[in-house]
Amino acid sequence: MRSMVEGLARMLRGTASAVGKARKLRRNLTLPEGLLWRELRKRQTGFRFRKQHPAGPFVLDFACLEAKLAIEIDGEVHDRGGRPVRDHTRDEWLANQGFRTLRIPAREVLKDIGAVVTHILTQCRPLHHDAARRGPPPRSGEEL
């Protein structure tokens, strides 16, 4: 499993400027990013998350490489100016790399962080059941 994650990390290697920007951003998380990072780190989710992960020319707020999921915490600035176009460009680039983007409004993180973490973990779980590896799918009402 570790070599697969390392391979994904190499695939999403950032440019030199993105790596430098990511290093600075890791030290200066916004309040919603900091709160979410604390929750993701303290819970034993079974998934490994990275904060401010460089990917190509972009820096992802959070990434779960195993699930091929980018998580973006969007503040009010994401609705203004050219930001929606830049966000769309980033999402398309990530999709071309095989990653889904989950956009979460910052106000939702502040309002109900537990629900946000639950939603993120739901998105990290595989959409298709691999019967050969794990046996039959769970019955209605059972956990995965």
- pLDDT tens over the chain, length 144 residues: 555 555 544 456 766 666 666 666 667 788 999 999 999 888 777 889 999 898 888 889 999 999 999 999 987 765 556 678 888 998 999 999 999 999 999 999 999 999 999 999 999 886 555 544 555 666 666 565
pTM, 2 dp: 0.71
Residue whose token pair is 């609705």: 79
- Domain 2-126 has what CATH class? alpha beta
CB 38 within 8 A of CB 49: no
Predicted pLDDT of residue 132:
46
Boundaries of every domain in the chain: 2-126
Residue whose token pair is 């994904």: 8
Predicted pLDDT of residue 16:
66
User: β-pairing, 69-74 with 50-55?
Assistant: unpaired
Alpha helices in the chain (DSSP H): 2-11, 16-27, 31-42, 83-96, 106-111, 113-124, 131-134
Predicted pLDDT of residue 29:
83
Separation between Cα atoms, residue 1 and residue 7, nearest integer Å: 10
DSSP 39-74: HHHHS--S---EEEEEEBTEEEEEEETTTTEEEEEE
Which residues touch 73 (CB under 8 Å, ≥6 apart)? 30, 32, 33, 36, 61, 62, 104, 105, 106, 109
